[in-house]
Amino acid sequence: MKKLIPFLFCMLLLAACTGESSDKKSGNGAEEEKTARKTSFLPEAAGEYGEVVIVMNKEQWSGEVGVALKEVFHASVPGLLRNEPYFVTRIIDPFQFNKLLKTAKNLVYVTTLDGNQPADNWLKNTFSAESKERIMANENMFMNTSDDQYAKGQKVLQLFGKDKKSLIAQLSKAENQEKIRNYFNIAERRRLAKELGMSSATRTIVSSLREKFGYTIKIPGSFELAMTEEDFMWARYLPATGASKNLFVYFKEYTSEEEFEKAKIINLRNEIGKKYIYGDPENRESYMTTEETYVPIASRNINFNDQYTVETKGAWKTNNNSIGGSFVSYTFVDESTQRLYYIEGFVIHPNEEHREAIRQLEALLTTFRAANV
């Protein structure tokens, strides 16, 4: 594949823990049945998208541990038009942790073994004596994940340390911050992809895309097909009020690794926008371009469907500044066809928040599959 594989395979290994990977392969049937029985009696996880319930000593939230946690969960999402945190947090004292809160979609427990207040003791008692010994002996141990503790579809994260200093040190590492955020981001995208259902009309669209282009992507029932060309597809949701959500797929022949460079990707994006996406269908002098002056372009390497992929986030505008918004895109190569794919979701919602609309579009983009036709 034109010398792409050796380089990209190494990058995939580096990026595997920071990006969206492919769905887990089916395991042992008996084990899956056992898990299904275990969760069958549980209620469905509830709560708003983008919300994380944190169970901890509230005094720690007001101190240095809280500062470190805010750097993780309240950091600004890159590439959005305005500053928006990755997550909204609800801080709950253990003794206020009631039945309703226990069904939260995203649940975090935070404790350090040096705490001695009632809230700290409640949290410490969730660890076995053996676990406490391991935490005391190994400062690199600071997190544990699990599923479905109180509800189906629930993601649970434990953050801990032998003392405040140890936990803060771990939470201050950029790689750990990204790991924690990705744990919940990926969970949110998978929930959204599952819940955004298609209609008979959009199923027909998906079938036609597979037949015409050789790929599939989930298109929710609220979307309509705006345009198709030989190398391009654009679908969109145009509500009477609220965020307009758009996704498009473009492909071309893959030529070299240079096409994964940030500048090359932005140039390609601008070429697509000028050729196909008009701010006003009646005015082809008004077209989409990339805003690079006021909103920094964020780019990172991820594992998307077991393929080396460059994720790009940023802001867009029309060339005459009539309208703009936020976007997220994935650039990757399908080996079987030697196609370079550029797939993007973009939002139009002036003067409003874009985080959750972009999260929904990320969920849709992750349903993309190249079909062997």
**Could you tell me the pLDDT band of residue 322, with boundaries at 50, 70 and 90?**
confident
The model's confidence at residue 282, banded by pLDDT at 50, 70 and 90, is low
CATH code that applies to domain 198-370: 3.40.1000.10
Task: Please compute the mean of the pLDDT values over residues 172-183 and round it to a whole number.
Answer: 96
83-138 tens-digit pLDDT: 999 999 999 999 999 999 999 999 999 999 999 999 999 999 999 999 999 999 99
Mean pLDDT on 253-261: 96
3-class secondary structure, 293: coil
**For the ranges 30-34, 215-219, 247-251, 356-360, which has the lowest average pLDDT?**
30-34
Asked if the model's pLDDT at residue 284 lies above 80, the reply is: no
Identify the residue with better confidence: 212 or 19.
212
Residue range 129-150: mean pLDDT, rounded? 94
Compare 24 and 182 and report the one with higher pLDDT. 182
7, pLDDT greater than 80: no
Residue pair 362/345 in contact (Cβ under 8 Å)? The answer is yes
Confidence of residue 73 (pLDDT cuts 50, 70, 90): very high
Indicate the pLDDT class of residue 162, thresholds 50, 70 and 90. Answer: very high
**What does the pLDDT read at residue 230?**
95
Average pLDDT over residues 221-250: 94
Lowest model confidence (mean pLDDT) among 23-27, 68-72, 128-132? 23-27
Residue 5 region, left (φ>0) first, then alpha (ψ -120 to 50), else beta? alpha
Q: Is the pLDDT confidence value at 34 over 60?
A: no
CA distance 359 to 321: 25
Q: Which residues contact 307 (CB under 8 A, 6 or more apart)?
A: 8, 12, 332, 333, 334
Grade residue 35 by pLDDT with cuts at 50, 70 and 90.
low
The helix or strand, by DSSP H or E, that contains position 327, with its residue range, turns out to be: strand 324-334
> Percentage of the chain with pLDDT > 90?
78
Q: What integer is the mean pLDDT of 284-301?
A: 91
Residue ranges of the domains in the chain? Answer: 42-194, 198-370
Confirm if 317 and 302 have CB atoms less than 8 A apart. no
Does residue 10 register a pLDDT over 60? no
Could you count the other beta carbons within 10 Å of the beta carbon of residue 227? 14
pLDDT band at 196 (very low <50, low <70, confident <90, very high): confident
pLDDT value at position 4?
A: 46
Average pLDDT over residues 269-277: 95
d(CA 335, CA 163): 49
Q: Return the higher-pLDDT residue of 357 and 12.
A: 357
What percent of the chain is predicted at pLDDT more than 70? 88
Q: What is the pTM of this model?
A: 0.85
Mean pLDDT of the chain: 88
Report the distance separating Cα 184 and Cα 354, nearest Å: 18
In the DSSP assignment, the letter for residue 251 is E
pLDDT band at 40 (very low <50, low <70, confident <90, very high): confident
Q: What per-residue confidence (pLDDT) applies to 155?
A: 97
pLDDT, residue 323, reads: 87
The pair of three-digit structure tokens given for residue 344, joined into one six-digit string: 């993007």
Predicted local confidence at residue 279, as pLDDT: 65
Domain 42-194 is in which class? alpha beta
Q: How far is CA 176 from the centre of its chain?
A: 16
